[in-house]
Chains A and B, each alone.
Chain A
Amino acid sequence: MHRIKYIIQKEFRQIRRDRPMLIILFLLPIVQLLILGYVVSSEVKNIRTVICDLDNTPLSRDLVGRLINSGYFDVKYFEASESQLPQYFDLGKAMVALVIPRHFARDLARNKPTQIQVLMDGQDSNSAVIAMGYIGGILENFLTDRLTRQMAEYAGVLDIHLVTPVIRVWYNEDLKYSNFMVPGIVVFLLTMVTSLVSAMGLVRERELGTLEQLLVAPIKKHELLIGKLIPFAILGFVVLTLGIALAKVWYDIPIVGNLGLIALFSFLYLFSTLGIGLFVSASARTQQQAMFMTFFLLVFFMLMSGFFVPIENMPESIQYVTYLNPMRYFMLVVREVFIKGANLSHLYWQGIALLIFGSGIFTFATMRFQKRMK
């Protein structure tokens, strides 16, 4: 028991003196969180738009005005000639072009069918589809208003009832994307710090040759491993606390659920991440190898966790693969607790999964870690 304490002591002493490591451990997560929170966003705003209003009537200008006032479109250019439009796309000056045909207002007034042309740059298909939705919505509003007005004029009826959906969003009322992403980033940071740093910490001793000395000391394998891993678990919790504090203070993310629950699940999750670190360090000979191996695993975990891409959007066969990813469960837990305030009764399956993975990975890695040399 005492030996564990000595190893922990030594480990903290070394961490404290390793300035680059300290920066990686604390400054980097903060910077990452501050930057990533803004970068990682699938909200589509400021869509560069060019308008070609060939009609130029009060009605057509009303439509253009609605587009501008929606806040989604950044109308930068007005083009008089339709034939000039392709170059806006070619030069990347616009993503959307709206063409209002000549006689748009007159045709509409005469009840003749009329069309509006919307041209789109489909490279970023996701944004294009979302932009299309916005335009559809704006047009719909435009027409509804017109219809209401017309009916009022013709029939003298002022009170017209159309079906309007009343939408109420639960949990993330403002539909703030950061409410969803920032907890995800916190998860990712915790994963990275604990798996990567623990892997590096053990491999460094192998690289230095100090591991050979530790191995010949009358110390049991579990004492050595516990002593080496506890400091990284503690660091993980520090990073987690830092991340949550930043999410709250900087991003103003509502934390509806119980933080104790987050702590509990983090504890369970750490067995997986530290286990991965241990597994990597049992296989890698140099810190460089350890880093590559960990990054490879991390990218896999991240992509398969629902961090960016919702798991439901993945092909079915891939969805099954995600069940093998401990990060998937923890990601869900953190988001549910943060945003929905889920409690243990909603999450116990995730808890069981994390427990199974944690003990599995940890046991396997411990077995791989030999007290003898290869």
Chain B
Amino acid sequence: MTYDINIVDVSKRFGSTVALDGLTLNVRQGEMFGLIGPDGAGKTTLLRILCGLYLADAGHHLLAGVDGRKKMRTVRSFIGYMPQRFSLYPDLSVAENMRFFADLFQVPHKEREIRLQRLLEFSRLGPFIDRRAHALSGGMKQKLALSCTLIHTPKILLLDEPSTGVDPVSRREFWSILAELRGQGVTILVTTPYMDEAARCDRIAFIHKGKILVTDEPTAIPSLFKKNLLELHCRQHVMAARFLEQSRAFESVKIFGDRLHVSSHKPNAQTTRLIKSTLAAANIDVISIKPVQARIEDVFVELLQ
């Protein structure tokens, strides 16, 4: 197995805040790797260390086998980094922004125009080529940002919450573009707070307090959930959750949308009875209770405790 990104024991602190705490992570060549974690878990810090914006306090990392600390400029020529708030020059047009980044990365002019056309087609920004960046919609800005990141055909792509603040349709489109890139063999490390996006990755890792808690394929993650899980549909579900929690009879009670996920080590039949009696006492109507397969969220919520 060849790895494109090796992160070994990397630590970083800002004053008294520990952002990364001896983090180790390996990303395979050509895979789409999702880094998931709550705000402040260290996702952005990790990506910034990888592209050389921060210097790690300890540990080291290799990108395509090249030491990221010692050969920063070499690394920068083959990685593409898209920060959380990728900013374009609002007063430059779509094409001017792309050409500028192409020039910065010293893409030869002939090649530049070919790639420009290809990326415009790829991102469907063709009709807006002369529009100033400030006049683009959120989704289009994001696609332009990605196009600028891709103009030097990086081998490794580091994306920091690329779909935050983008409408659902553009989000889906953006992820299908990423899937296409993956098909072309680009290694992608992407951070996201959305679980549905995590499911689109080859592998995901859960980061919390500067450490990786678990790494696996998205489909394998639910099996890490070792308890029985029931999905409860009832009226006044927020109040119901409070009552169930106060009864201390269950391992965990979590709200997922308008449903509750109740986990327990006890058999399902016993748990069901317990739920019903608890809610009956509180005068809350139960609509349905059924056993469900744990989802990625359930595992992560569990891990957070």
A interface list, Cβ under 8 A from B? 2-3, 6-7, 10, 13-14, 17-18, 208-210, 212-219, 372-373
On chain B, the residues within 8 Å of A372 by CB distance are: 52-55
| B91 in contact with A3 (CB, 8 Å) | no
Name the one of B53, B87, B96 contacting A216, with C-beta atoms under 8 angstroms. Answer: B53
Nearest chain B CB to A197 CB, angstrom units: 16
Which B residues from 50 to 105 make CB contacts under 8 A with A? 51-55, 73, 76-77, 79, 81, 83, 85-92, 96, 100-101, 103-105
Which of B81, B83, B100 has most A Cβ within 10 Å?
A: B100
Question: Please, which residue of chain A has its CB at the minimum distance from the CB of B149?
Answer: A213
Chain B, interface SS category: loop
| B89 in contact with A3 (CB, 8 Å) | no
On chain B, the residues within 8 Å of A209 by CB distance are: 83, 85-87
| A10 in contact with B89 (CB, 8 Å) | yes
How long is the Cα–Cα vector from A208 to B55 in the complex, in angstroms?
23
| B77 in contact with A218 (CB, 8 Å) | yes
Question: Is B48 an interface residue, CB under 8 A from the partner?
Answer: yes
Question: Please, which residue of chain A has its CB at the minimum distance from the CB of B81?
Answer: A216
| B48 in contact with A373 (CB, 8 Å) | yes
How long is the Cα–Cα vector from A217 to B81 in the complex, in angstroms?
9
Question: Please, which residue of chain B has its CB at the minimum distance from the CB of A220?
Answer: B73
13 sampled A-B residue pairs with Cβ under 8 A: A7-B104, A13-B91, A17-B91, A209-B83, A209-B87, A210-B87, A210-B88, A212-B87, A213-B81, A213-B101, A213-B148, A217-B76, A218-B77
Which of A7, A13, A213, A215 has most B Cβ within 10 Å?
A: A213
How long is the Cα–Cα vector from A13 to B90 in the complex, in angstroms?
12
How long is the Cα–Cα vector from A58 to B129 in the complex, in angstroms?
88
Question: Is B106 an interface residue, CB under 8 A from the partner?
Answer: yes
Name the one of B53, B96, B100 contacting A212, with C-beta atoms under 8 angstroms. Answer: B53
How long is the Cα–Cα vector from A213 to B76 in the complex, in angstroms?
11
**Known A-B contacts A216-B81, A218-B77; A3 and B103 likewise in contact (beta carbons under 8 Å):** yes
Nearest chain A CB to B159 CB, angstrom units: 13
B interface list, Cβ under 8 A from A? 48, 51-55, 73, 76-77, 79, 81, 83, 85-92, 96, 100-101, 103-106, 148
Name the one of A18, A212, A219 contacting B83, with C-beta atoms under 8 angstroms. Answer: A212
On chain B, the residues within 8 Å of A7 by CB distance are: 104
Nearest chain B CB to A285 CB, angstrom units: 14
**Known A-B contacts A3-B103, A13-B96; A216 and B89 likewise in contact (beta carbons under 8 Å):** no
| A216 in contact with B86 (CB, 8 Å) | no
Question: Please, which residue of chain A has its CB at the minimum distance from the CB of B100?
Answer: A10
How long is the Cα–Cα vector from A333 to B96 in the complex, in angstroms?
43
| B76 in contact with A216 (CB, 8 Å) | yes
On chain B, the residues within 8 Å of A2 by CB distance are: 103, 106
How long is the Cα–Cα vector from A183 to B92 in the complex, in angstroms?
38
How long is the Cα–Cα vector from A18 to B96 in the complex, in angstroms?
16
**Known A-B contacts A14-B92, A17-B91, A209-B83; A215 and B103 likewise in contact (beta carbons under 8 Å):** no
On chain A, the residues within 8 Å of B81 by CB distance are: 213, 216
Other A-B pairs beyond A14-B92, A213-B87, A373-B54, 12, CB < 8 Å: A10-B89, A10-B92, A14-B89, A209-B83, A209-B85, A212-B87, A216-B51, A216-B79, A217-B76, A218-B105, A372-B52, A373-B53
On chain A, the residues within 8 Å of B48 by CB distance are: 373
| B54 in contact with A18 (CB, 8 Å) | no
| B85 in contact with A217 (CB, 8 Å) | no
How long is the Cα–Cα vector from A7 to B99 in the complex, in angstroms?
11
On chain A, the residues within 8 Å of B96 by CB distance are: 10, 13
How long is the Cα–Cα vector from A17 to B133 in the complex, in angstroms?
13
Nearest chain B CB to A10 CB, angstrom units: 5
**Known A-B contacts A212-B83, A216-B52; A18 and B101 likewise in contact (beta carbons under 8 Å):** no
| B87 in contact with A217 (CB, 8 Å) | no
**Known A-B contacts A10-B89, A209-B85; A214 and B104 likewise in contact (beta carbons under 8 Å):** yes
| B101 in contact with A217 (CB, 8 Å) | yes
Nearest chain A CB to B101 CB, angstrom units: 7
Nearest chain A CB to B144 CB, angstrom units: 12
| B55 in contact with A14 (CB, 8 Å) | no
On chain B, the residues within 8 Å of A3 by CB distance are: 103-104, 106
On chain B, the residues within 8 Å of A219 by CB distance are: 104
Question: Please, which residue of chain A has its CB at the minimum distance from the CB of B75?
Answer: A218
| A6 in contact with B103 (CB, 8 Å) | yes
Nearest chain A CB to B129 CB, angstrom units: 16
On chain B, the residues within 8 Å of A10 by CB distance are: 89, 92, 96, 100
Question: Please, which residue of chain B has its CB at the minimum distance from the CB of A14?
Answer: B91
Nearest chain A CB to B15 CB, angstrom units: 11
Question: Please, which residue of chain B has its CB at the minimum distance from the CB of A208?
Answer: B87
| B105 in contact with A13 (CB, 8 Å) | no
| A210 in contact with B89 (CB, 8 Å) | yes
Nearest chain A CB to B103 CB, angstrom units: 4
How long is the Cα–Cα vector from A372 to B90 in the complex, in angstroms?
24
Question: Please, which residue of chain B has its CB at the minimum distance from the CB of A3?
Answer: B104
